[in-house]
Amino acid sequence: MAPVGPRRGRDDVDGKQKKTVKETSTVHRPTSKASVGAKRGRDDGDGKPKKTVKENSTVHRPPDEKLTDEQIHEYYRQFFRSQGFIVPDYGGRLCGGVGPYSMTDKYRQKLVKDMIQKSLRIYNRKNKVNFEFDKLVSVNACAVAGLMFYITFNARCGDDAPQTFYSKVWKTFNDYIKVQFCVIGNAQDAGTSQA
């Protein structure tokens, strides 16, 4: 009589042991001393066990859902209408697409702040005004030979009401920051007047 279910750890068909794969990796920290014939699994010279770190890696996979034709059409409609300053959240999932830039750490916050300051310096010098940064509205980015940033922010000149600025800034691989343009207006006009 055959058992009701297969025995634990056995293959359903032939009763042989199942092959399992465990996804872990071991990192051996190097030591400064090297001895010939050191015991396996021991640090060189002192006979103590090696310091190893077992780490489980997390693999980030893209979302299972594919973008629909309507979503892709809507992305391109918004991108061309706003010159990249207003795009759907899923825009970054497209190859070469512009999507929201997450301000997750101090480095990214400082980088965006530096780009805004450089954009305002150029704008102020060219137009002989004195705008100062007030508030960040949004930041979008896409991968080019580095990153292209589409930054929307508010700035004010003296006691006047804040104005909305649109700045397109290219950060190259060697950390050179080049302001493509910085204009006051609306997103639809942003790409037409270049500074």
Residue 156, class by beta-carbon neighbours within 10 Å (0-12 exposed, 13-18 middle, 19+ buried)?
A: middle
Is the backbone of residue 135 left (phi > 0), alpha (psi -120 to 50) or beta? beta
Domain-embedded: residue 65: no
What's the domain range around 175? 100-184
**Total number of domains in the chain:** 1
Residue-wise pLDDT tens digits, 60-96: 445 557 889 999 999 989 888 888 898 888 888 888 8
DSSP 56: P
Residue-wise pLDDT tens digits, 17-55: 555 444 444 444 454 444 444 445 555 566 666 555 444
- One-letter amino acid of 141: A
Q: What is the CATH number of the domain that holds 144?
A: 3.10.450.10
Domain-embedded: residue 47: no
